[in-house]
Chain A
Amino acid sequence: MNRANVMIRLAPWLFTLALLLFWEFVCRAFKIPEFFLPTPTAVAGAIYEFWPAIYRNSWITLQTTLIGFGLAVGFGLLLGLAIGWSRTIYAGLYPLMIGFNAIPKVAVVPILVLWFGIGFVPAVLTAFLISFFPIVVNVATGLATIEPEMEDVLKALGASKLDIMRKVGIPRSLPYFFGSLKIAITLAFVGSVISESVASNYGIGNLMLQAQAQFQVPLIFAGLIALAVEGIVMYWVMALLEQRMTGWAQRSDFAQN
């Protein structure tokens, strides 16, 4: 491994460390009170002190998010294929979906609570509702951008629409699909945490809400850190999946250094 590669490996850690040092420095230099912006060391203290609660609630949030995300993947994939399959379905569903996507999901949570009560179900559904849209759009885009010549080649051989979908459309939309998973997983976290903080007794969202009520500002930030870590880990998993599944689509040397 040469020097440049070592630097690239270390860069994320160094940049994170630099951010934390800067944060610590600003807090101390300007004597910012802890209830306004706690120092990273105070946050670390809160993480240590409340570890069992943070750990338990992180798991709950992660499970909620992943179930909602799983639903979004299944539903988004089907809907994306349907939209890419038929222009009529496309014309009919697209405006509806855009309208639906424009609704702030926090406004939907009370309705979900009305239907399912507070807790696990509305959080899963919020995660699902907020994260399926990018998957649908990306899968549909992959299908819509099949080269017309490719279609001609196969149609002239007597290929059915299903043949073209199977041989060209679906493989072609996979890079778009896996790319959208990275966006969807982060949105799914947003969804579950929104619902947890409005209508649940569990999860990181709820933990932060309680910490706020008790004015334990370092604990609020500890919750944020926990979410950030979960988000990074899941994003990384999705990126890895993308690379594994669709390596053929990523062959550019553009951003090597």
Chain B
Amino acid sequence: MSGFIALDGVSHRYGGIQAGPDGVLAIQDLTLAVGRGEFAAVVGPSGCGKSTLMKLVTGLQFPFAGHVTVGGEDVHQPVKIAGMAFQAPTLLPWRTTLENLLLPLEIVRPHRGELRRNKAAYVERAEKLLASVGLAGFGSKYPWQLSGGMQQRASLCRALIHEPQLLMLDEPFGALDAFTREELWCVIRDLHAARGITIIFVTHDLREAVFLADRVFVMSARPGRILAERTIDLPRPRDLEVTFSSAFQDIVHELRDHIVKARQ
């Protein structure tokens, strides 16, 4: 697999380049490559610079050493081909769920110029997307009228509405209860299978990482580096049942050992 996304010897300090040489190193000499259409999970102890990794890949910040390339090009500005979702759904409370979904289209070119003319088509696209995550008919509701899990689904839809080539997820299910979380694992799994989209998924839940990903990267404690890389060869499509299989448990245990070492 070629590196659709590649980080090569990347180091970065908190606060970006402005922080100067005294800034705390968030990640150091980090190298990682993710192929097109691949589902990569990044796990590590808290504070290991996972969120910094997100910002570097999406072009919100730039490393002071090393290179970040997306689609073969150096990242000098926000990449615009990425959708993002976080632990907090960050939906705008004054917009209905549907209007929240349309927000990225009001920003991203070329949709930005066409939104008004082709409103009906875009609304249809948004409604289809909502239906695909089990939110059919909820478009007219305000986010605060939805449950936490439903808000997170809507947040995923917002990240996907402009049909990005890359989906960046930063602990998207961290605040949800276990059952809802597993439901959403399946939603993500199906989205990935249906769209062939490249996904980078930051989490500290190992079961989540193993269930979803093609490859799992283990990061060290701060400053973050890639300690280990594990290809998950469990056959797809994976069913939730697989999480109880011994093969699955073995991989989780193996990764867990890495994390324990990383914390020391």
Q: Once the chains bind, are A158 and B108 in contact (CB under 8 Å)? A: yes
Q: Counting chain A CB atoms within 10 Å of each CB, which of B86, B109, B142 scores highest?
A: B86
Q: Once the chains bind, are A248 and B93 in contact (CB under 8 Å)? A: yes
How far, in whole Å, are A249 and B95 apart by their CA atoms in the complex? Answer: 11
How far, in whole Å, are A175 and B38 apart by their CA atoms in the complex? Answer: 43
Tell me, yes or no, whether A154 is within 8 Å of chain B by CB. yes
Known interface pairs A152-B58, A156-B59; A168-B108 also in contact (CB < 8 Å): no
**Residue on A nearest B109 in the bound complex, by CB:** A158
| Selected contact of B107 from candidates A147, A149, A167, A249, CB within 8 Å | A167
| Selected contact of B90 from candidates A153, A156, A163, CB within 8 Å | A153
Within 8 A of A (CB), among B137-170: 142, 144, 158-159, 162, 168
Q: Which residues of B contact A (CB under 8 A)?
A: 55, 58-60, 77-80, 82, 84-86, 88, 90, 92-94, 103-104, 106-109, 142, 144, 158-159, 162, 168
Q: Counting chain B CB atoms within 10 Å of each CB, which of A147, A156, A174 scores highest?
A: A156
Tell me, yes or no, whether A244 is within 8 Å of chain B by CB. no
Q: Once the chains bind, are A167 and B106 in contact (CB under 8 Å)? A: yes
Tell me, yes or no, whether A251 is within 8 Å of chain B by CB. yes
**Residue on B nearest A160 in the bound complex, by CB:** B107
Chain B residues with CB under 8 A of A152? 55, 58, 60, 84, 86
Q: Once the chains bind, are A157 and B108 in contact (CB under 8 Å)? A: yes
Q: Counting chain B CB atoms within 10 Å of each CB, which of A152, A157, A168, A249 scores highest?
A: A157
Interchain residue pairs with CB less than 8 A apart (23): A147-B88, A150-B92, A152-B55, A152-B60, A152-B84, A153-B86, A153-B104, A153-B158, A154-B104, A155-B60, A155-B78, A156-B59, A156-B78, A156-B79, A156-B168, A163-B107, A167-B92, A167-B103, A167-B106, A168-B92, A174-B94, A248-B144, A249-B93
